[in-house]
A and B are shown apart, each in its own frame.
Chain A
């Protein structure tokens, strides 16, 4: 298997051969939505309206936007905590996301779980748990079912550099490799697991491990939404054609602390500044301005949507403790995950899209 371990080239333009202009705007929109919702949520957190802690993916928006954009309605996603753009692309409304952060009844988990621990089952998404990377195995199991039933679909999950140290990473990679499953593993290498830098996490670039498990690994500039899309699109095509899994290492940088309380003084300022120059949103905007898109109008429409969502979410009720004991068990029929939104133009005309 070819494993491309080349360092990411920050100035590489993404391969836009499969993207129409509207797709490229949609990628920008999803990233702006992620950043805008998270900024709003952070200010709600500081006002005491978001309980617990708050985690964001500032500077990493391209990783989830690009990868999720390549996924078909019938594909299934297990989404990590710095991947809000994936929820946006699948069709979760900003109101439900902000309600989720605030523990309101209108949140995706109706207050049962906090912050980014959510997945809309009706949109084909499973929310993460805090034990990382547990979802790699869940995604592998989904892919196993797809293969068993002879279905042309795939599963995708994100996980971080720290996750590569745990056993579930290896169990999932091994299982997926042995059974040649249609699963995509997106390793979000943002240089730090909480305060631990990658040089204390692994001795070899983890993308090389794909070869050891018998499938393809590719390194992508994780701050380039179009490059992320293209790598995921190609991996998906291979997966649904029976070519097995792909490990996609998205090289990026966590620009904020692990959570709201973390001032990340353990990160050298120069490293942050270096990555600030590679901001994924600015990069996409620059491209679109070059293509004649009114980027300011896109920004304005996203801001207005978030403002309206914020008002609506704040007006929503808190959940009632009356039913806090309900739902531990399913008492009806088990309903499998539903299909999600898949806005990429490449899916139009495929029936489900």
Chain B
């Protein structure tokens, strides 16, 4: 075990893969000489060269499209969107070319798209988005969202080994705030949920940065036993783990940092309504960002992002239901 930050864990996974597999290639804007906007690939170009840690033109559609082309002739490209928000410029290649390929033609597209996502630091409307639900709605894409350093590394290894396009949602706010023990070497974290803290009175279901918010909000809630379920993977969604938690706890709060409407949590809520109605002991409660662009100024941003207080309040109300 080594203690590392979430960001170091991502770097470590990339470095291990580049060392182990010559098919692996990192490509994106400023990932080479500069080491990436967040320094995830700092020092890579010295070890692996500019061909395998490729500074690309500022062209997100080209980054995804060229990755698809390289993948179908045997490479394992890992693309970096400088910010998850910028995937809008590469969305067509991701959704229509990469995501539809295997179903249409039986041709696998082993690419990973790393998407530094999320808000909390005055990034404003175009550097704070959580676009994961857009990918969930598009068949053929897998979507994972780690909340811990160990999962960041293990999920990235698994994503790179996966023969399908995987959207890797890495939360920018966790990069240097989250630290943890990470196993040595290459290991895969399965695309399944994880019980972050077991409990029996209520379960908070979350992923990404909201897992820490959920843990903090429920660490001492008048002695109630609160479970926190970290989804880790949104596609595939670990339905069994969700239903298990609901059966155990009977009360559910679902937290999304993404905008409320049709968010990942909406899918989880629908799943529970369909398959666990009899297990419920109260309404399914959702906490999410309202349907507004993420504002820039700190008091405005804090007013919309789900925080510890809102989650705590939602849990209290539901416990008293």
Contact = CB atoms under 8 A, between A and B. Distances in A.
A34 interface: no
A131 B99 CA distance: 14
B73 A330 contact: no
A320 interface: no
Interface stretch (B55-63, B122-130, B222-230): B55-63
A134 B106 contact: no
A112 B73 contact: no
A193 interface: no
B26 interface: no
B105 A113 contact: yes
B119 to A, nearest CB: 28
B105 A134 contact: no
Interface string A128-142: 011100111111111
A168 interface: yes
Contacts of A145: 69-70, 73-75
Nearest to A177: B57
B142 A329 contact: yes
Contacts of A146: 73
A178 B140 CA distance: 31
Contacts of A327: 102-103, 106
Given A140-B66, A141-B65, A171-B61, A336 B74 contact: yes
B97 interface: yes
A291 interface: no
Interface in A183-239: none
A334 B64 CA distance: 18
Contacts, number: 140
A308 B232 CA distance: 54
B100 interface: yes
B104 interface: yes
A137 B104 contact: no
Given A141-B65, A167-B61, A172-B62, A109 B104 contact: yes
B107 interface: yes
Contacts of B68: 137-138, 141
A333 B162 CA distance: 9
Nearest to B62: A171
A180 B299 CA distance: 49
A131 B96 contact: yes
A332 interface: yes
A21 to B, nearest CB: 34
B164 interface: yes
B117 interface: no
A126 interface: yes
Given A126-B105, A178-B57, A141 B70 contact: yes
Nearest to A183: B69
B110 A134 contact: no
Given A121-B105, A175-B56, A175-B62, A126 B93 contact: no
Interface in A15-55: none
B106 A328 contact: no
Contacts of B56: 175
A327 B73 CA distance: 20
Contacts of A303: none
Contacts of A245: none
Interface in A316-345: 327-337
Most A CB atoms within 10 A — which of B71, B73, B103, B109? Answer: B73
B304 interface: no
Contacts of A121: 72, 105-107
A174 interface: yes
A168 to B, nearest CB: 6
Contacts of A113: 104-105
A254 interface: no
B225 to A, nearest CB: 37
A249 B68 CA distance: 25
Among A143, A168, A178, the one with the most B-chain Cβ atoms within 10 Å of its Cβ is A168
Contact of B25 (A148, A328, A332, A335): A148
B102 A328 contact: yes
Contacts of A131: 92, 96-97
Contact of B70 (A109, A144, A172, A174): A144
Contacts of A117: 104
Given A109-B105, A328-B103, A337 B92 contact: no
Given A329-B164, A330-B102, A337-B72, A148 B140 contact: no
B55 to A, nearest CB: 10
B67 interface: yes
A119 interface: yes
A119 B110 CA distance: 18
B107 A126 contact: yes
B309 interface: no
B4 to A, nearest CB: 30
B97 to A, nearest CB: 5
A141 B142 contact: no
A76 interface: yes
B163 interface: yes
A73 to B, nearest CB: 13
Contact of A76 (B67, B73, B104): B73
B16 interface: no
Contacts of B72: 76, 121, 126, 138, 142, 336-337
Given A76-B73, A145-B73, 5 more contacts: A112-B104, A119-B105, A138-B69, A175-B57, A330-B108
27 contacts: A76-B72, A112-B103, A112-B105, A113-B104, A119-B107, A121-B106, A131-B96, A131-B97, A134-B93, A134-B96, A136-B65, A138-B69, A139-B69, A140-B69, A141-B68, A141-B71, A145-B69, A155-B69, A168-B62, A168-B93, A171-B59, A175-B57, A175-B62, A178-B57, A334-B110, A336-B73, A337-B107
Interface of B: 25, 51-52, 56-57, 59, 61-62, 64-75, 77, 92-93, 96-97, 100-110, 139-140, 142, 163-164
6 cross-chain pairs, A with B, having the tightest CB-CB distances, nearest first: A141-B69, A137-B65, A141-B66, A334-B108, A334-B163, A330-B108
Interface of A: 76, 108-109, 112-113, 117-119, 121, 126-127, 129-131, 134-146, 148, 155, 167-168, 171-172, 174-175, 178, 327-337
